[in-house]
Amino acid sequence: MILPVLLFLLPILPLAMFQAQPVQYHTLGTPLGKLTGRQIAFGTDATVYQFLKIPFAKPPVGDLRFQKTVPVERWSSIHDSTEHGPSCLQEIPAAIKQFLSNKEVSEDCLHLNVYTSGDLSPTTNKSVMVFFHGGGFLTGQAQLYDGSGLAVNGDVIVVTVNYRLGVLGFFSTGDSVARGNYGLWDQIEALKWVQNNIGSFGGNPNSVTIFGESAGAFSVSLLSVIPENKGLFQRVILQSGDYSSYYAINKKPNDFATAFSYQSKCRNLQTSQAMFDCVRNIPADRIIPTQNKAILFSLLAPDSLFNSPLAPVIDGDLIKSDPVESAQNTSSDMIAFFQSLDLMAGCVSTEGSLLQAYIYPYMETKYDFNTSEGVPTSLLRSYFARTLAEQLYNNQSNVWRAIVDKFGSSDIEVQARKIMDLYGDVFFYLPMIRAVDLHSSNNKDGNTFQYMFSEPTPIPISGKQQPSWFRGSEHGADLIFLFGIEKLNRIISIPSSTMDFVQQLRTYWTNFANNGDPNRGRNVNIRWPEYNSANRSFIDLAASSVSQQTAMLQDRVKFWEKDLPLIASTNVTDSAVSLATAKWTILIMLFVNSILRRL
């Protein structure tokens, strides 16, 4: 299905608008050479230093394409860090591009941005927060996320990072020829840069928090279960993503590699090496069009709902084994490293907004409905429930019926919300809950905190007016409040209560970065209870009411974790399930063919 490809491509509003304040310039020295950044006023009484487009690796071009990241070499002249660099090669959505100060894309994109406030002295020893953006491993850029607000609020240093995306970041032949995971190697190299250079900005390399949203959270969660990363960071924040999600790891990398090779005119090649040698020399301007064609072909796979064609892979090198399976060995080095870190993890209240924005409209013709009015039960019965039953439960009709009974409704507005609940459960909420359960289990080292973000955005993230039946907070909403509310406030009037909520939210995040506990440091109005499997405590974050809660989504979690496995144990199969998926595959094939004619 098209879902894994499109679901993270939603625009995240103008998180990075052009600076309106007067700009001064500041030069400092680092072990790699001198940098000139910019100094701006933030609010009425704060000063922010921004050092942009700092190279942390050699450009991954030529012989370095499809290779592990190579550290940048020292430079002799003063590097200009006053403007953003290009995004990594991708197709930037128009709704995003209009808000980028640098609209270019390039293979030469491995830069990071540093935001800090107050004193730039190397002796300040500030905690560091390193952010990895989302975008489905296909799109996204560091320049969207202005770390100034977090830096000022918690007296921390914020680092935002570009990493290779799409084919250039995650192409894999499934063997040692092209292992993949180049985007993850970029992230690791950026963290090594922090270790070696952040002290020049007043940062403490021994107090580093990595955080990310969506695909960025998938990345962060994977980095947090690789023991070789010990010492690069001490704390982790997962925002709408965990490695146990079906979208975090590509289990069939060679399928996409073959499709990409074919679309690249690299055909009839008998070995992975021949394929690799051919695609490695594709001109940069052909990569994205060819990638898009290959992605469309990947949609024909019956299990495409549960696999991302371009994502991290189990390569036997960086990711040595399936982390979900490895987590069953609770005495492993992987679990020891994971539990040594402090963890904060959560989701927004309506992760299924991705369906409403991108998938429901695509299905309107086949299922005869208008998204603005609601969604018919036939969409649940004929596609979502059946696909889940086939791909995860071996075509069991009793599983299909149980899902329909649990998430079905004759009211089309309620049905629209319930399918979004189902989608959110399977791909976001259950993985997140499993992560905090695993982390907190018999853990004497790291703290565990869980949250639900329930505050709706002032304007829709997708750029489309929400239907009247929509409820809750959209996927990516938390980013608006963490990174972009001041700039949004220049466009529309944000209530003072919302601005107060933003400060409280940032205080939780930066307290955690500073102390491993969102309650320690600057004052918070509501104490955030620590999570464990007995109390299952979490905090609900909304401007109207920040509140302590327990047992997140208890009834739905029970259905997926206890009731459905019991039902599935009866093992009743249904050929109608396979027939439904076959019909859907034919529909997708017709759609793909129609698109390819226009490419």
Q: Rounded to an integer, what distance in angstroms lies between the CA atom of residue 565 and that of residue 556?
A: 13
> Is residue 430 in a domain?
no
Q: Rounded to an integer, what distance in angstroms lies between the CA atom of residue 236 and that of residue 513?
A: 9
Tokens of 351: 């992760």
Q: Rounded to an integer, what distance in angstroms lies between the CA atom of residue 313 and that of residue 320?
A: 9
Mean pLDDT of 398-412: 97
Same domain, 235 and 262: no
Q: Rounded to an integer, what distance in angstroms lies between the CA atom of residue 584 and that of residue 568?
A: 24
Q: Rounded to an integer, what distance in angstroms lies between the CA atom of residue 290 and that of residue 599?
A: 9
> Is residue 41 in a domain?
yes
What is the predicted pLDDT for the residue at 304? Answer: 73
Q: Which long-range contacts (CB under 8 A, 24 or more apart) does 302-306 make?
A: 302/390, 302/391, 302/581, 302/582, 302/585, 303/391, 304/1, 304/3, 304/4, 304/588, 305/1, 305/3, 305/4, 305/246, 305/387, 305/391, 306/246, 306/391, 306/392
Q: Rounded to an integer, what distance in angstroms lies between the CA atom of residue 90 and that of residue 165?
A: 7
The one catalytic residue in 214, 224, 264, 298 is 214
Same domain, 460 and 583: no
Global confidence as pTM? 0.93
What is the predicted pLDDT for the residue at 297? Answer: 83
> Is residue 420 in a domain?
yes
pLDDT tens digits along 36-68: 999 999 988 899 999 999 999 999 999 999 999
Residues in contact with 150: Cβ distance below 8 Å, sequence separation at least 6, in sequence order: 115, 129, 156, 158, 482, 483, 506, 509, 510
Residue 358 confidence class, pLDDT cut points 50, 70, 90: confident
The one catalytic residue in 351, 390, 455, 474 is 351
Mean pLDDT of 339-348: 99
pLDDT tens digits along 185-205: 999 999 999 999 999 999 999
Would residue 261 show up in a list of annotated catalytic residues for this protein?
no
Residues in contact with 334: Cβ distance below 8 Å, sequence separation at least 6, in sequence order: 225, 226, 227, 323, 326, 327
Q: Rounded to 10 degrees, what is the CA torsion of 118, 457, 139, 430?
A: 100
pLDDT tens digits along 124-143: 999 999 999 999 999 999 99
484: pLDDT strictly greater than 70? yes
Mean pLDDT of the chain: 91
What is the predicted pLDDT for the residue at 469? Answer: 96
- Look up the CATH number of the domain holding residue 541: 3.40.50.1820
Residue 366 confidence class, pLDDT cut points 50, 70, 90: confident
Same domain, 156 and 230: yes
Residues paired with 550 in a beta bridge: 537
Percent with pLDDT over 70 in the chain: 91
> How do 126-132 and 105-106 pair as beta strands?
unpaired
What is the predicted pLDDT for the residue at 270? Answer: 85
Domain hosting residue 269, numbered range: 251-309
Same domain, 368 and 478: no
Task: Using alpha carbons, select from 488, 487, 478 the residue that is nearest to residue 508.
Answer: 478
For 7-46, letters b (16+ CB in 10 Å) and e give bbbbbbbbbbbebeeeeeebebebebeebebbebebeeee
> Is residue 14 in a domain?
no
What is the predicted pLDDT for the residue at 16? Answer: 43
What is the predicted pLDDT for the residue at 21? Answer: 62
Site of tokens 């969604």? 375
The one catalytic residue in 440, 454, 475, 537 is 475
**How many CB atoms within 10 Å of residue 376?**
17
> Is residue 5 in a domain?
no
314: pLDDT strictly greater than 70? yes
The answer to whether 432 and 238 are in contact (CB under 8 A) is yes
> Is residue 62 in a domain?
yes
> Is residue 213 in a domain?
yes
Same domain, 477 and 570: no
| Least confident stretch, 148-152, 313-317, 577-581 | 577-581
Number of domains in the chain: 3
pLDDT tens digits along 413-425: 999 999 999 999 9
> Comparing 120 with 530, which gets the higher pLDDT?
530
Mean pLDDT of 335-342: 98
Residue 464 confidence class, pLDDT cut points 50, 70, 90: confident
Same domain, 236 and 145: yes
Sign of CA dihedral 352, 353, 359, 365: positive
Residue 307 confidence class, pLDDT cut points 50, 70, 90: confident
pLDDT tens digits along 254-285: 999 999 999 999 988 889 999 999 999 999 99
What is the predicted pLDDT for the residue at 572? Answer: 59
What is the predicted pLDDT for the residue at 597? Answer: 37
> Is residue 599 in a domain?
no
Helices (H), 33-102: 94-97
Same domain, 202 and 214: yes
Would residue 84 show up in a list of annotated catalytic residues for this protein?
no
pLDDT tens digits along 221-267: 999 999 999 999 999 999 999 999 999 999 999 999 999 999 999 98
Same domain, 38 and 98: yes
| Least confident stretch, 145-159, 326-340, 380-394 | 380-394
Classified as helix, coil or strand, 547 is strand
Same domain, 231 and 375: no
Same domain, 208 and 188: yes
What is the predicted pLDDT for the residue at 344? Answer: 99
Classified as helix, coil or strand, 15 is coil
446: pLDDT strictly greater than 70? yes
Same domain, 397 and 275: no
Q: Rounded to an integer, what distance in angstroms lies between the CA atom of residue 429 and that of residue 423?
A: 9
What is the predicted pLDDT for the residue at 584? Answer: 45
Site of tokens 């991954």? 60
590: pLDDT strictly greater than 70? no
Would residue 214 show up in a list of annotated catalytic residues for this protein?
yes
Same domain, 510 and 399: no
